[in-house]
Amino acid sequence: MKIGFLGLGSMGQAIAANLLQSGHEVWVWNRSPDAARKLVELGANAAATAAEAFNADVVFTMLADDKALRAVLLDSGLLAGLKAPLIHVNLATIAVAFAEELATLHAAQGIDYVAAPVMGRPNVAASGQLNILAAGPESAIDRVQPLLDLIGRKTWRLGEKASSANAMKLATNFLLVSAVQAMSEAAVLVTRYDLPSSALIDLVSSTIFTGPVYQGYGALIGERRYEPAAFKAALGLKDVELIRAAAEDVSIQLPTANLIRDNLLDAIAHGQGDMDLAVLAEVEERRARS
C-alpha cells in the first residue's frame, strides 16, 4: 500500500517509522524538510510537497495544531484538488468544531476522513503501543485497521461521526492535565511538612493511582526533572484551550481547565514552555513562595 505521512515531530517520526518497517511504500513530508532525513535513511521517500505526499492510498497527518493543518490542507487549496479513492487519517488532537468542518469538506470531495487521535507519549508511539480513538466511516476504518494495528495496541471505535474521536480525546487529555495539576499541588504540600515529593509519588503511584500518568509524570515531578520534554507545556496549553472551547460549545463549565490554563501561561511567561507538562509543579512552587 502507498502511504503518505505529513507531520514529523517526535510523535510523527515514531509512528511513520513503524509504518515503514511493515514494508509499505511510505512518502513523508514535513514543513521543515530536515525532519524527514532520518526516515528517508530508513527507506522512506521524501515528498517535495504536501500534495505529493497526498498522492497515496492512505494519508496520515500528525501536524502540530489546527492552524498548521488548516494551512497545509485548506488554505493551500490542497483538499479541493484531491479525488477519491483516498482515506485521510488524522492522528492529531484538534478542535471538535474543526473536526466537524474537515469531515464535511472531505465528504464533499468524496474522500473518506477518519479522525484517529492517539494516546501515548513518543516512547509509547515508538513501541507501537498507542491507544487510538477512531471515528468516521466504518468501511474506511475497516480498510485502515491493519495499519492502525501496526502503530497501536488497541483501536477504540467511537462511531461514524469523526468529531466524536476528538471529543473523547479532549476529555482524556483533560483528565491527564488535571492529574498532573493535582500531583503538583500535593507535591508542594508534602514538602512543607519536610517530606520529599518523590516519596509521595512513589506511594500513590504504587497504590491508589497506579498507571502511566501518575508513574510517568509523577516521577518527573518527584525528581523535578522537566527536560527533555516528551509533552511540552506549550502543547499542553494548546490542548487545554481546545478543551475549554469544546466545553463552551456545549455550554458547560470546567473550572479546573481554567486554572490549568492560567498555570500553563505562568510557566510559559517564565520561559518554561518547552519543558515537560510536569513543570506545573514549578508553578505551584512559585505560588507557594509568594
Residues carrying an active site annotation? 169
The amino acid occupying position 61 is T
Separation between Cα atoms, residue 129 and residue 218, nearest integer Å: 21
Spatial CA neighbour of 177 closest among 188, 169, 167, 189: 169
Separation between Cα atoms, residue 154 and residue 229, nearest integer Å: 25
Joined together, the cell numbers standing for residue 205 give: 503511584
**Is the Cβ–Cβ distance between 16 and 53 less than 8 Å?**
no
**Is the Cβ–Cβ distance between 69 and 40 less than 8 Å?**
no
User: What separation in angstroms does the CA of 122 have from each of 125, 199, 221, 276, 279?
Assistant: 5, 27, 19, 13, 18
